[in-house]
Structure 1
Amino acid sequence: MVSSSHEAMHRIFQEDPGIFARTFRALGIPFSDPVAVSLLPTDLTETKPLERRVDTLLRFDTAEDDGFLLLVEAQGKKDPTKPASWAYYLAHLWAKYGTPPVLLVVCQDRTTAAWASGPFTIGPAQWPALTLRPLVLGPHNVPVITDVSVAARDVPLATLSAITHGREPNADAILKALASALKTVDQYTARVFTELTELGLGNAPAAQIWRDLMAADLSFFRSETSQRLRAEGAAQVVLALLDKRGIEVPEEARERITACHDTETLITWMARIDSGASVTELFEEDEA
C-alpha cells in the first residue's frame, strides 16, 4: 500500500537532490555534490503484465567522475520480498543506463532502518552471487535539527529531519524549528516543504502538532490563495498514488480530482486509495 507518508519520504529528494550528498558527507561517505541532476522515468516495466515501478529515480552528474543513478525507496516496515525487488531494480538500471546505481532506503523507525541496512546476499550460502548493500536514512542517523538557524540554512534537510523523526520523542522541537525556518524562505518553497512535512508525518501524533503550528505561525498558509495551492499539491499526490497502485484514471475522473479545491476531501481520497481497486470506489461514498 502506498501512503502519503511514503510519497514524502522519497519526493524530498526530487525537491532538493543535493540533500543526498550533504547528508552522507556528514556520515563519512564522501559523495560529490552534483553539477546536474535529471529526473528519470520511474517505470522499470520490461514485459506485460509484470510491472515494476521505483519510488524516485535521479541521475547525478558530477565533476569528479561519470556520475551515478540514485534510486530512492521509502520503506515503512520490514518486507521480506523487497530485497529481491531492489536487486532487480539495480540490475535493470545498470543494464539499461550503463551507469552505476545507488539504492537509498528512507525509513521512519529504527527497526525498519536496521533491517533495510542489510547486507542481503543473493545465491546459495556456499557461493553468494550478489550482495545488496542499501544506504539507509532514518532516525538512527538523520540529524536532529532543533536549532532555528541550522534549520533555516538547510530547509530540505530540516524537513527530512522532521519526517524521519516524526515518531520520536523530540519531534515537537524539530517541528517548531522547521516552522520558524519556513518564515525565512519564499512562499513557494515554504509551501512545498510544508506540504511534504505534513504528508511525511502521515498519521503520527506529531502531524497534529504540525497542523497547529501552521495555523498559528504562518499566516500565508491561512490565505485563500495558499489553500488553493495546497489543494493543487494534494490533488497531484492523489494522482501519483493512483498511478503507483496501477489504477486506471479516466479523463473525467482526472478532471474531478484536479478541480477539487477542498484539501480535506483530497486527504480522504488518499486514504481510500489504500483499500480501493478502482477510481469508482474512490468517489462512491461522496456520491452516496
Structure 2
Amino acid sequence: MVTSQHEALHRIFQEDTSLLARTLERLELPFPEPLQVSVLNPELTEIAPIERRVDTLLKLETKLGDHLLVIESQSRRDDRKTGSWAYYLSYLHEKYKCPVTLLVICQDAVTARWARLPKKIGLAEWPSLVLYTIALGPDNVPAIIEKAEASSDVVLTVFSALIHGRSPKAGDILEVLATALDTIDTDTAGFFAEFTEVGLGNTAARKLWRGLMSTKTYRYQSEYAQQLRAEEAARNVLVVLKARDIPVDDSARERIMTCNDTDLLREWIRRAITAQSADELFD
C-alpha cells in the first residue's frame, strides 16, 4: 500500500524541481547540470492491461541533451524491484529516446546500501542487463543542523529531515527546520510544516515535530498549531471516556475527532470525567 510517507519522499522533488541539482551537487556526483526540469506524467501503463507507474518522473533539459530521471521511494529491500525498475528504464528509454537514470530515496542506510548494489538480470556470470541506481539515504544525505544553512535552503532541510526521520539526528534537524520556516512566507512555510509531518510517517520524529508545532510560536503555524491542539484535546476526551469504560459509538467518535473548537473540547473533557454516557458530552 502506498503511504503518505512514501509519497512525500519523492514528491518533494516535484515541489522544488531544483532540489535535485542541489542534492546531487552535495554528493559530488558526475551528473549533467539541468538547465530546466519539468514534471512528467508518471503513468507507464501499456495497451495491455498491466498498470505500471513510477513514483516521480522528471524531464531534465541539459547542455548534453534531454535526460529523464525516475525517482522511487523505497522503505525496505525488495528484490522484485529488479524487474520493475529495469522495465521502467527500458520503457522510458525507448519511448523518449534519451538517457534515463533511476534515483532511489531511502530512510534507512541498510535499504540505501541495498539499492546501490548492481541489479542483474540473466546468468550470474553473464548477465544480460545490469542496473545501477543513485540511492539517497541517511548515510550520504547531509543532516542539516545549523540554523544558517537551514535558512539558506529550507526545502533541502525538509528533505534532510525526512531522510533522517529515523536517526538520532532527527530532533536537531527538526529544531532548525522549525526556525528556518519562519524566514519564508507563511503560506509556503505552513505547507512545508504539514508536508514534513506527513513525510515523517509513524516515527518518533513525527511526535517531536508535532510537539514543536503545538508548543512553540512561529509566524506560519497559528492555524496548523490550532489544528494540532484540537486533535490532542479530542484524543484526551476519548482517553477519559475509555478510562471510565464508557462506550463511544462511531457517530460520537467522529463528532469528537472532527471538532476544531478547543474551548468546546476542553468542556467535553470536563464533562467526560462525570458523564454516564458519551451523549452527555453534547447536551
Whole-angstrom distance in 2 between the partners of 1:212 and 1:198: 11
The answer to whether residue 109 in structure 2 is matched with residue 110 in structure 1 is yes
Per the TM alignment, residue 91 of structure 1 is displaced from its structure 2 partner at its CA by 0.3
Whole-angstrom distance in 1 between the partners of 2:20 and 2:77: 23
What is the DSSP-based 3-state SS (H/G/I as helix, E as strand, rest coil) of the residue aligned with 1:73? strand
Conserved? CA contact 1:37–1:58, under 8 Å: yes
The answer for the alignment partner of 2:6 in structure 1 is: 6
What is the DSSP-based 3-state SS (H/G/I as helix, E as strand, rest coil) of the residue aligned with 1:79? coil
Letter in 1 for 2:115: A
The answer to whether residue 108 in structure 2 is matched with residue 86 in structure 1 is no
Further displaced range: 35-44 or 218-227? 218-227
**Aligned runs of 1:98-247 on 2, under 5 Å?**
98-215=97-214, 216-223=216-223
Q: Which runs of 4+ in 1 moved over 2 A?
A: 30-35, 217-227
Letter in 2 for 1:83: T
Conserved? CA contact 1:22–1:33, under 8 Å: no
Per the TM alignment, residue 31 of structure 1 is displaced from its structure 2 partner at its CA by 2.7
Per the TM alignment, residue 25 of structure 1 is displaced from its structure 2 partner at its CA by 1.8
The answer for the alignment partner of 2:47 in structure 1 is: 47
Per the TM alignment, residue 73 of structure 1 is displaced from its structure 2 partner at its CA by 0.2
What is the DSSP-based 3-state SS (H/G/I as helix, E as strand, rest coil) of the residue aligned with 2:72? strand
Whole-angstrom distance in 2 between the partners of 1:118 and 1:155: 31
The answer for the alignment partner of 1:61 in structure 2 is: 61
Can you list the C-alpha shifts for 1:208-244, whole angstroms capped at 9, x where unaligned?
Answer: 11111122232432228996xxxxxxxxxxxxxxxxx
Conserved? CA contact 1:179–1:217, under 8 Å: no
What is the DSSP-based 3-state SS (H/G/I as helix, E as strand, rest coil) of the residue aligned with 1:35? strand
Whole-angstrom distance in 2 between the partners of 1:35 and 1:226: 41
Per the TM alignment, residue 53 of structure 1 is displaced from its structure 2 partner at its CA by 0.6
The answer for the alignment partner of 2:249 in structure 1 is: none
Whole-angstrom distance in 2 between the partners of 1:226 and 1:102: 43
Whole-angstrom distance in 2 between the partners of 1:143 and 1:263: 40
Whole-angstrom distance in 2 between the partners of 1:120 and 1:224: 43
Larger strand fraction of residues: 2
Can you list the C-alpha shifts for 1:187-212, whole angstroms capped at 9, x where unaligned?
Answer: 23212322221111000101011111
Letter in 1 for 2:112: A
What is the DSSP-based 3-state SS (H/G/I as helix, E as strand, rest coil) of the residue aligned with 1:59? strand
What is the DSSP-based 3-state SS (H/G/I as helix, E as strand, rest coil) of the residue aligned with 1:7? helix
- Residue 111 and residue 263 in structure 1: after superposition, are their counterparts in 2 closer, same or farther (change >3 A)? farther
Whole-angstrom distance in 1 between the partners of 2:113 and 2:26: 19
Structure 1: gaps spanning 5 or more residues: 228-261, 265-288
Per the TM alignment, residue 32 of structure 1 is displaced from its structure 2 partner at its CA by 4.0
State which structure, 1 or 2, has the greater radius of gyration over its C-alpha atoms: 2
What is the DSSP-based 3-state SS (H/G/I as helix, E as strand, rest coil) of the residue aligned with 1:67? strand
What is the TM-score of this pair, normalised by structure 1?
A: 0.75
Per the TM alignment, residue 17 of structure 1 is displaced from its structure 2 partner at its CA by 1.6
The answer for the alignment partner of 1:238 in structure 2 is: none
When the two chains are superposed, the root-mean-square deviation of aligned CA atoms in Å is 2.1
Whole-angstrom distance in 2 between the partners of 1:89 and 1:104: 12
Whole-angstrom distance in 1 between the partners of 2:8 and 2:131: 24
What is the DSSP-based 3-state SS (H/G/I as helix, E as strand, rest coil) of the residue aligned with 2:2? coil
- Residue 66 and residue 16 in structure 1: after superposition, are their counterparts in 2 closer, same or farther (change >3 A)? same
Q: How many residues align?
A: 230
Q: Considering Cα pairs closer than 8 Å and 6+ residues apart, tell me whether 1 or 2 has the greater RCO.
A: 1
Can you list the C-alpha shifts for 1:39-63, whole angstroms capped at 9, x where unaligned?
Answer: 111110013421001100010112x
What is the DSSP-based 3-state SS (H/G/I as helix, E as strand, rest coil) of the residue aligned with 2:69? strand
- Residue 224 and residue 138 in structure 1: after superposition, are their counterparts in 2 closer, same or farther (change >3 A)? closer
What is the DSSP-based 3-state SS (H/G/I as helix, E as strand, rest coil) of the residue aligned with 2:34? coil
Whole-angstrom distance in 2 between the partners of 1:224 and 1:131: 47
What is the TM-score of this pair, normalised by structure 2?
A: 0.77
Percent identity of equivalent pairs? 49
